Amino acid sequence: MRLFVAVLPPVEALQDLADAVAPVRGLPGADRLRWTTADAWHLTLAFFGEVPADRVTELEAALAEVAEAHPAHTLRLAGGGRFGDRVLWAGVEGQDWALRRIAEAVYRATAAVVGETDAFSFHPHLTLARAGSSRGRRRAEQRLAAAELDALARALDGYRGPEWEAAELHLMRSEQGGGPVRYTSLCSLPLARWEAGPP
């Protein structure tokens, strides 16, 4: 199974972001992107790739230990940005340092189950849209695509969504083929209820 760990924003936060993104989708260049839908929006903390089905119980146990050791925290979706000429995203504000701590802990706790991953790199974000592959495109086309993504990201500069509590982790399954990628939560793991301290 293709698995990852995520935090799922509440419906109210997703709807607020969807309302802010709607006019952005009408800007120049937006029609050339593959836009994700609000029901698929999430904040990825760790991506595992293919995991044998018989290791999932082990994986859930490791994630439960991480959840018990880290508190719920306050976040909001805010602003926007891009990764190269390929991805447009919404950012995260608030106790986003808590997300980083959890992501680091998830990678450490699950290494024995899913294997060592590449060097840890985490940038909290919610993917809004993707462009086609950069391969085969000329540099001029890549620069144009990056400039268009910049303009779309700038349109979200002033966006600040409502605050919400990130109170659980989800072990998610990603299924591809026959249309958009489908995401299913295999289990939810409540975070601890003690107060989060500073970074």
Paired with 89 in beta bridges are: 81, 127
- Determine whether 123 is an active site residue: no
Q: Report the half-sphere exposure of 190 (CA within 13 A, side-chain side).
A: 3
Q: Could you say which DSSP state residue 108 is in?
A: H
Q: Could you say which DSSP state residue 164 is in?
A: E
Paired with 129 in beta bridges are: 35, 88
Distance of CA 139 to the CA centre of its chain: 28
Sheet of strand 73-83: strand arrangement: 34-35, 126-130, 87-94, 73-83, 164-166
Coil/strand/helix, residue 137: coil
Beta strands in 52-152 (DSSP E): 73-83, 87-94, 126-130
* DSSP characters over 151-199: HHHHTTTT-B---EEE-EEEEEEEE-SSSS-EEEEEEEEEPB-SPP---
Distance of CA 57 to the CA centre of its chain: 23
Identify the active-site residue in 70, 73, 125, 170.
Answer: 125
Identify the active-site residue in 42, 70, 73, 170.
Answer: 42
Give me the active site residues, please.
42, 125
